[in-house]
Structure 1
Amino acid sequence: MAAQYEDLQKVGREQIESSLKVFGAFSKGLQGIAAELADYTKRSFEEGTSALEKLAAAKSFDKVIEVQTEYARSSYENFIAESTRIGELYTDLTREAFKPYEGAFARVRPFTER
Structure 2
Amino acid sequence: MTKKAATNATVDPAVVTKEIEEMVATGRKSLQDAFINGTEAAEKAFKSNSETFKTNYEKAVAEGKTGFEKAIKTLEGSQFYDKNSAEAFVKASNAAVEKSEKIGAAMIDYGTGRLQEVFNVAKTIAETEDVTKVVELQTEFARSSMQSYVSEMGKFNALVTDAAKSVVEPFGAQYAANLDMFSKQA
Q: TM-score, normalised by structure 1?
A: 0.80
Structure 1 counterpart of 2:166, from 93, 96, 101: 96
* Structure with greater contact order relative to length (CA < 8 Å, sep ≥ 6): 1
Match of 1:50 in 2: 120
Q: Does 1:17 align with 2:90?
A: no
Q: RMSD of the alignment, in Å?
A: 2.0
Give, in angstroms, the shift of residue 101 of structure 1: 1.2
Match of 1:5 in 2: none
Give, in angstroms, the shift of residue 99 of structure 1: 1.1
Distance 2:90 2:84 in 1: 10
Distance 2:87 2:175 in 1: 15
Most deviating of 69-78 and 54-63: 54-63
* 1:71-114 CA distance string (max 9 Å, x none): 10111111111111111000110111111112233343887xxx
- Give the letter for the 2:118 counterpart: G
Q: TM-score, normalised by structure 2?
A: 0.51
Q: Which 4+ runs in 1 deviate beyond 6 A?
A: none
* 1:19-74 CA distance string (max 9 Å, x none): 11111000000000011011111110111011101110121211111010011011
State the SS of the aligned residue for 1:59. Answer: coil
Q: Does 1:40 align with 2:110?
A: yes
Match of 2:152 in 1: 82
State the SS of the aligned residue for 2:82. Answer: helix
Distance 1:103 1:36 in 2: 29
Q: Does 1:61 align with 2:163?
A: no
Question: Taking every aligned residue pair, what percent have the same amino acid on both sides?
Answer: 25
Greater C-alpha radius of gyration: 2
Instruction: Map 1:25-36 onto structure 2 (within 5 A).
Output: 25-36=95-106
Distance 1:45 1:72 in 2: 13
Distance 1:43 1:81 in 2: 14
Distance 2:174 2:88 in 1: 9
CA contact (8 A) 2:88 2:170 kept: yes
